[in-house]
Amino acid sequence: MTIPSRKQIRLQNYDYSKGNAYFITICTYKSARLFGDIVSDEVGAHRCVRPNHPEKIIVKWLREIEKKYANALLSAYIIMPDHIHFILQNPGVYDETGAHIGAPLPEIIKWFKTQTTNEYIRGVREGLFPPFDKHIWQRSYFEHIIRDQNDFVTRRKYIYENPMRWMQKN
């Protein structure tokens, strides 16, 4: 019996360490709703909340990306019950010959998933977070290379409107 190979979702021959902005979506394993519920606050804004919520560790490690990777800038994010969206800008880091250096996007995402998973496991052991089934995150992630300012504005708007769409759908 042969095991089918996974579909390649990254652009072949694309340098993910070069300067660009990326719209990223990472989903929880089996769409588990680990990160709370969407609620409306007193002014009608929708957000994801739950007391002692693991959402805080997601925010913490998103912000740590900028500290760990000098070439990364977090522009916008939203944490939904079963996924996260964010825009990560990578201004690009170059050596003296002009070659791209610095962490490529897949390395940054792998580090982020590892850190959040480890901290989530500690939270489960301490009884702070709900248990999960085998994994926190799905195996891969979705990325869209932001091509221009209009694309950037469109993706940012999508992030901010995501909770409202969730409330309408669920």
Q: What is the pLDDT of residues 26-37, one digit of tens each?
A: 999 999 988 877
Please determine, for residue 3, whether its predicted confidence score (pLDDT) is greater than 80: no
| pLDDT mean across residues, the chain | 83
Query: What is the structure's pLDDT at 168?
Result: 80
The pLDDT score that the predictor gives to residue 106 is 87
Question: Amino acid identity, residue 9?
Answer: I
The architecture in CATH of the region 33-89+103-169 reads 2-Layer Sandwich (3.30)
With a cut of 70, say whether residue 68 has pLDDT above it. yes
Q: Does 99 score more than 90 pLDDT?
A: no
pLDDT value for 32: 92
CB atoms within 10 A of CB 169: 7
Which pLDDT does position 51 carry in this prediction?
Answer: 47
| Confidence band for 138, pLDDT divided at 50, 70 and 90 | very high
Q: What pLDDT is stored for residue 90 in this prediction?
A: 79
In the 3-class helix/strand/coil scheme, how is the chain assigned residue by residue?
Answer: CCCCCCCCCCCCCCCCCCCEEEEEEEEEHHHCCCCCEEEECCCCCEEEECCCCCHHHHHHHHHHHHHHCCCCEEEEEEECCCEEEEEEEECCEECCCCCEECCCHHHHHHHHHHHHHHHHHHHHHCCCCCCCCCCCECCCCEEEEECCHHHHHHHHHHHHHHHHHHHHHC
